[in-house]
Amino acid sequence: MNQSFFIKTYGCQMNEYDSEKLNDLLEYNGYKASKNFEESDIAILNTCHIRKKASEKLYSDLGRLSKFKENKKKLGKRMQIIVTGCVAQAEGDEILKRNKSVDYIFGPQSFHKLPKILKKSNSDKVYNDFLCENKFSSLIPSKSKEVSKLITIQEGCDKFCSFCVVPYTRGAEFSRSVENIYAETIALVKNGAKELTLLGQNVSSYESNVIKDGIRKKIRLGDLCQILSHIQGLERIRYLTSHPIDIDDNLLDQHKKNPKLMPFLHLPIQSGSDRILKKMNRKHSKTFYLSLIEKIKKIKKNMAFSSDFIVGYPGETDNDFQESLEVIEKVRFASSYSFKYSPRPGTPSSLKDSLIDCDVVDRRLKEMQSILNKHQTEFNLSFIDKTVDVLFSGKGKKPNQYVGRTPHLQPVHVLSSENLVGKLLSVKLEDLTSYSFHGRLSA
């Protein structure tokens, strides 16, 4: 009988993409996807290392799973436990030392080896090389029929922000070839995809080459968006996550003239204080960031922005924190994420001893989040009674209810007796309940 597997995914969209790809590879090799760990012969944890809380989830899940494995063994049944993702890359052997029931460890660029290793039961337990090229050339076309799809076009990071583990867990920047991305997009669109989110830890640093008429041409993110937008049936293109210093005119030019490129930009700043930005090794100042936003708004009037903030970076004073709030007041983000600083092993900032008192960090985070939420609500309220394009991607919880997204990524619920999945329609936004709208199809 076919062995079954279940993958639990933590972390960012890049992990979601990897899990989907691993799922496809395992199914292709004769394994069967199951609904939970309890019903599976192979339990896979695709992990995230970004903050302490994220990576600790692995060990609590491993505790539970290893007991389950023992009980299964008593009944004469076998279960294999596999750890993949960013904790696998960062901690490797350490995971095996902390939990003996783990069978194999695969870093994010090595998970494609899993089906083969499972078949020949290898004595090596840890696989964590950094060769992205091998991974992407081993992936198989997706059978998914989803309307909105993620596609990794770039991996790794060369920026080395002082707080961040990504350069160590995902390795150096690597851009997939245009041909490879194009082929995957064509397959997705054939299956019904209408929206594509191009993913990369540093997606705006995307760079590859194509040879045209014997001449080598450099392809940046803007060029790639232009190439993909010619694919018939693909209605929307998004990209995630950008670093402010990599946003170039090539990309902005596309925002100006390519209607398929959505007017929403996630552009993390992390802090509004130049002093802290310097300590973070962010390579941009507050003024650079604010002028970039102004420049983009001039090019694309309806562009909305979101950001990431870290609160309580070592040495952050009340004054530094106020400067972050000032940036928030100036930009008025459509939405944003804010995190408590978490010291991560191996990062330069983890060596600093000027940690901020927990209560102070809690208070600052609460204050920041309440302002960010207020701005998000104001942004959303400004759309009430407006008619916008909504791409419907699935069914809602209620009968005859469908869910879609606006160009600015706002979720919208609409009632309809006709199936709306996959349709791009004009919707009048009528009500706002917390972060999602209720709307009516325009006549």
Residues that bind ligand SF4 (CB under 6 A): 157, 159-161, 164, 166-167, 201-202, 243
Question: DSSP class of residue 400?
Answer: T
Task: Pick one of 5, 11, 104, 306: the residue that binds ligand F3S (CB under 6 A).
Answer: 11
Residue 442, Cβ neighbours under 10 Å: how many? 12
225 lies in the binding site for ligand SAH (CB under 6 A): no
Choose among ligand F3S, ligand SAH, ligand SF4, none what residue 49 binds, the Cβ cut-off being 5 to 8 Å by kind: ligand F3S
Return the closest-CA partner of residue 137 out of 171, 173, 106, 180: 180
Question: DSSP class of residue 11?
Answer: S
Give Cβ neighbours of residue 373 (< 8 Å, ≥ 6 apart).
none
Footprint (CB under 6 A) of ligand SAH, residues 293-322: 308, 310
Least spacing, CB of residue 50 vs ligand SF4, in Å? 8
Residue 432, Cβ neighbours under 10 Å: how many? 15
| Residue among 112 and 243 whose Cβ is closer to ligand SAH | 243
Question: DSSP class of residue 270?
Answer: B
Footprint (CB under 6 A) of ligand SAH, residues 45-84: 50-51
Footprint (CB under 6 A) of ligand SAH, residues 268-287: 268, 270
21 lies in the binding site for ligand F3S (CB under 6 A): no
Q: 323 near 294, Cβ under 8 Å?
A: no
Residue 21, both tokens: 């790809």
389 lies in the binding site for ligand SAH (CB under 6 A): no
| Residue among 167 and 404 whose Cβ is closer to ligand F3S | 167
| Chain centroid to CA 225 | 18
Find where tokens 């090389």 sit. Answer: 129
Return the closest-CA partner of residue 178 out of 236, 234, 233, 223: 223
Choose among ligand SF4, ligand SAH, ligand F3S, none what residue 160 binds, the Cβ cut-off being 5 to 8 Å by kind: ligand SF4
Choose among ligand SAH, ligand SF4, ligand F3S, none what residue 336 binds, the Cβ cut-off being 5 to 8 Å by kind: none
Choose among ligand F3S, ligand SF4, ligand SAH, none what residue 341 binds, the Cβ cut-off being 5 to 8 Å by kind: ligand SAH
Footprint (CB under 6 A) of ligand F3S, residues 130-189: 165-166, 169-170
How many residues interact with ligand F3S (rule CB under 6 A)?
A: 14
Residue 148, both tokens: 């909105």
> Three-state SS across 26-61?
HHHCCCEECCCCCCCCEEEEEECCCCHHHHHHHHHH
86 lies in the binding site for ligand F3S (CB under 6 A): yes
Return the closest-CA partner of residue 247 out of 208, 216, 220: 220
Helices 249-257 and 221-229 pack at an angle, to 10 degrees, of 30
Query: Which range binds ligand F3S by CB under 6 A, 43-51, 363-371, 393-401, 424-432?
Result: 43-51
Residue 287, Cβ neighbours under 10 Å: how many? 9
243 lies in the binding site for ligand SAH (CB under 6 A): yes
344 lies in the binding site for ligand SAH (CB under 6 A): yes
**Contacts with ligand F3S, residue ranges (CB under 6 A):** 11-12, 14-15, 48-50, 85-86, 165-166, 169-170, 201
Residues forming the site for ligand SAH (CB under 6 A): 50-51, 163-164, 166, 201-202, 241, 243, 268, 270, 308, 310, 339, 341-342, 344
